[in-house]
Amino acid sequence: MSCCAPNASASLAIAGSEPVTVSMDELVLSSRDLGDGSRQSDLSVPGVHCAGCIAAVERTLSAMPGVESARVNLSMKRAAVRWRAIDGQPPDLIGHLRAIGYDAHVFTMESDTADPEYTRLVRALAVAGFCSMNIMLLSVSIWSGAEGGVRQAFHWISALLAMPAIVYSGRIFFVSAWRALRYGRTNMDVPISIGVLLAFGLSLYDTVQGGEHAYFDAATSLIFFLLIGRTLDHVMREKARSAVAGLARLIPQGATVIDADGTRRHVPVAQIVPGTLLTVTVGDRVPIDGIIVQGSSDLDYSLVSGEAVPKYAGPGAQLQAGLMNLTGPLTIRTTASVENSFLADMVRMMEIAEGGRATYRRLADRASALYAPVVHCVAFLSFLGWMLATGDWHRSITIAIAVLIVTCPCALGLAVPIVQVVAARRLFENGIMVRDGSALERLTEIDTVLFDKTGTLTLGRPRLLNAAEIPPEAMTIAGAMALHSRHPASLAIVAERPENRSRPPNFESVTEQAGLGLEARSGDVVYRLGRPGWATGKEAAETGEPNSVSVLAKNGVLLGRFLFADRLRNDAAQTIVSLARDGIWTEIVSGDRGSAVEALASTLQIDTYHADLLPADKTQRINDLSASGRKVLMVGDGLNDAPALASAHVSMAPASAADIGRTASDIVFLHESLSAVTRAITIARTAGRLIRQNFAIAIAYNAVAVPFAVLGAVTPLLAAIAMSLSSIMVVANALRLRNGISGGMASRSQSGFLIKKPVQVAA
Amino acid sequence: MSLNYLSFLVPIAIVLGIGGLAAFLWSLRSGQYDDLEGAAARILLDDDSE
């Protein structure tokens, strides 16, 4: 193995991500046709970190028959593969990557992976940088004493150079300012645009008139500085967004339909009408609501309703979209189309919730709403004052514009984005992706946190409790049998298999019986792993905690008992304690049974909990809290949490959340530890403090500089120095966030807490 | 006369600058900044057969 064993590495190990089977059809559906028979697929490979990973992935893919070329993009954790179907079958790209330890899935982001906005910003930045630097060079000569014809020539060259910076690079600000003004609002770009345009206009006029001063350098370097901030902001946000987009899709986009003549084909979900027959293989999620026609299985409800215990379902049972099929293949008849399925209901509720949420005005925009009128008034008053005093309108305008340039919110324009870029980067390093720029600002305001239970406070997966007490022989046999199943309990047993295991007996067959467990045959020996009564053949054996126990039996003779419990997310208890210490109120809102929620609440010492909630109840709870003036952070992962996530003031979801939950939430955290919640709050609060400090610096600087400008003492040289100084101070202050908080609130502990929570085991 | 040499030195400087800008825009367009981390890591691969 190379320097990093991808599955063991902590840096981007995604919490709770089960391997999702991707059918060949899905690979074909999501690929692009390049003509001449070859196709391109973009795979998201979260496990690549280093040169060794690049080599391993590219070598493995390139060696496969049918693959023409493979190239890994390390920054995006993505692999672009060109392939050709052999005998109508695409190469099993994902299977081969799994085999060498890299989890991969098909990446489908609005077809095009290029980011036009980024390219546009960088281009504008390059032009502004080129122009402003050359103008600055000429300005230095003028400040050093160039006079007469030379100064005149330099002013003209500067004007020429300023043109592309204003027209091409400045457009980004002008468009945004114009959009705000048209809707009768102001934002940060309005004073910036006015300042830049006036400075340019005046300088151009003075150049034509052969005047002494020109502010081309100020106008262009302002654009350059502000574009740096804006580009960094965009890059950070895009990085977070693409990291989230790269997570595996949990709800299938397509389904395998059985036609009347028995043929099967893969069809996009959107085209499926009620009454269609579908197959749902083991490990797949139910793509659309339906009734079981044939087969029986255990179904994992955790993402849909928050119930942690898988349920058995046979023919006639009603299934909701999003349920995971664990143990047996099913044939279902759909009862709804996509538009009126459970999933679509959630989307509709989310849209209503989002419409009801007060639109948040970003801090910078609120600041500029106060700031712009003041600055523009001061400039206008100085114009009036000088006009009355001297009657020289050119001089008055020059001074008014000098006021605008000096106060032009360079520091203010950088104050917020730079801090947020540094904060977002820190969060990114901790596996916390901020999808929305204003989320950090909103996060500083919260005073209440609502947690979903299954999958959020707990991992939603059982863990084997007594691995040490089970005889090694039983462990080996059970481990070998469990490999054949996707039931959570089986996965838990496989995870605990000893390192140096002895060879298990050779099974002739391993069959899974839905609701009961696994049965393996080796010669005339029958091993059964699962429900105690079924495995040993003695119904009386079921005792106190029937659901959390599963046994292994050989011909009905007990070999070992396996105890399971759902596991708390790492650092869950600590997180709740830290939140309480910060005076933040916590509650649990869960769709699971009362007893299960109560057990968890008492373990975590959360006083207020709500069980058996429907999605609408969760939203209602948030609305009630909001109505009483509270700012709620919702942390949830399930489909049933999506409306609540959309209606909360801020929302967070783990990477293992349902797609729709991830889309609804502002922040997504990749690591297993729940300390991401406190960490995000801490960083957001520190960032908020730094932003306020930056505002203070900008205001203090203005308080000093404006009197000089009003008195007419500011030359272009002074304006340039003052502007650069204030920008450097603001940026330096923002960078303090990088090393300001180390470690975060909760230390990383590897031991999870266990709660006694019955988990049905049928494996 | 100072204007004499300035009159060709300044244009040369600006033309060179524009050349640099054009080179940057070209490299941006041709995707050389798409995977900076990958570019840094690939230098360590000795069997790059492409």
Question: Residue A108's pLDDT is what?
Answer: 59
B33:A122 CB<8 A: yes
Other beta carbons within 10 angstroms of residue A594's beta carbon come to 12
Range with lowest mean pLDDT among A15-19, A84-88, B31-35 = A15-19
Q: Chain A residue closest to B50 (CA)?
A: A69
Q: Which residues of A touch B35 (CB under 8 A)?
A: 73-76
Confidence of residue A16 (pLDDT cuts 50, 70, 90): very low
Query: What are φ and ψ of residue A625, in 5° steps?
Result: -65, -40
The string of pLDDT tens digits covering residues A174-203 is 998 899 889 887 777 888 888 889 889 989
Range with lowest mean pLDDT among A12-16, A209-213, A221-225 = A12-16
**Which of A101-110, A218-227, A247-256 is most confident?**
A218-227
Query: What single-letter DSSP state applies at residue A89?
Result: B
A51:B36 CB<8 A: no
The string of pLDDT tens digits covering residues A309-323 is 778 888 888 888 888
> A428-432 — which CB contacts under 8 Å span 24+ positions?
A428/A236, A428/A239, A428/A240, A428/A243, A430/A671, A430/A676, A430/A679, A430/A744, A431/A11, A431/A12, A431/A669, A431/A670, A431/A671, A431/A676, A432/A667, A432/A668, A432/A669, A432/A670, A432/A676, A432/A679, A432/A680
Q: Which residues of B touch A122 (CB under 8 A)?
A: 28, 33
How far does the CA of residue A165 sit from the closest CA of chain B (Å)? 13
Question: Residue B8's pLDDT is what?
Answer: 85
Question: Residue A12's pLDDT is what?
Answer: 35
The string of pLDDT tens digits covering residues A139-158 is 988 888 877 888 888 999 99
Q: Has residue A657 got a pLDDT over 50?
A: yes
A571 flagged as catalytic: no
B2:A73 CB<8 A: no
Q: Which residues of A touch B13 (CB under 8 A)?
A: 134, 137
What does the alpha-carbon distance between residue A675 and residue A684 come to, in Å, rounded to a whole number?
Answer: 14
Q: Chain B residue closest to A161 (CA)?
A: B14
A150:B10 CB<8 A: no
A55:B14 CB<8 A: no
Q: Chain B residue closest to A151 (CA)?
A: B3
Confidence of residue A128 (pLDDT cuts 50, 70, 90): very high
What does the alpha-carbon distance between residue A81 and residue A183 come to, in Å, rounded to a whole number?
Answer: 46
* ipTM of the shown complex: 0.85
The string of pLDDT tens digits covering residues A440-472 is 888 888 899 999 888 888 887 777 777 777 777
Q: Which residues of A touch B5 (CB under 8 A)?
A: none
Q: Has residue A267 got a pLDDT over 50?
A: yes
B13:A51 CB<8 A: no
Of A73, A119, A161, which has the smallest distance from its Cβ to B38's Cβ?
Answer: A73
A75:B38 CB<8 A: yes
How far does the CA of residue B18 sit from the closest CA of chain A (Å)? 8
Q: Has residue A510 got a pLDDT over 50?
A: yes
Of B20, B36, B45, which has the smallest distance from its Cβ to A54's Cβ?
Answer: B45
Q: Has residue A161 got a pLDDT over 90?
A: yes
Question: Residue A252's pLDDT is what?
Answer: 67
A55:B45 CB<8 A: yes
Q: Mind listing the domains of chain A with CATH numbers?
A: 24-111 (3.30.70.100), 254-340 (2.70.150.10), 461-566 (3.40.1110.10)
How far does the CA of residue B26 sit from the closest CA of chain A (Å)? 10
Determine the number of helices (DSSP H) and then strands (DSSP E) in chain A.
Answer: 23, 27
Of A72, A119, A153, which has the smallest distance from its Cβ to B38's Cβ?
Answer: A72
Q: What is the mean pLDDT of chain A?
A: 79
How far does the CA of residue A44 sit from the closest CA of chain B (Å)? 14
Confidence of residue A127 (pLDDT cuts 50, 70, 90): very high
The string of pLDDT tens digits covering residues A212-249 is 888 898 889 889 988 988 888 888 777 777 777 766 66
Given A452, A592, A641, A659, the catalytic residue: A452
- Mean pLDDT of the region A49-74: 86
Beta-carbon contacts of A132 under 8 Å, excluding residues fewer than 6 positions away, are: A165, A217, A220, A221, A223, A224
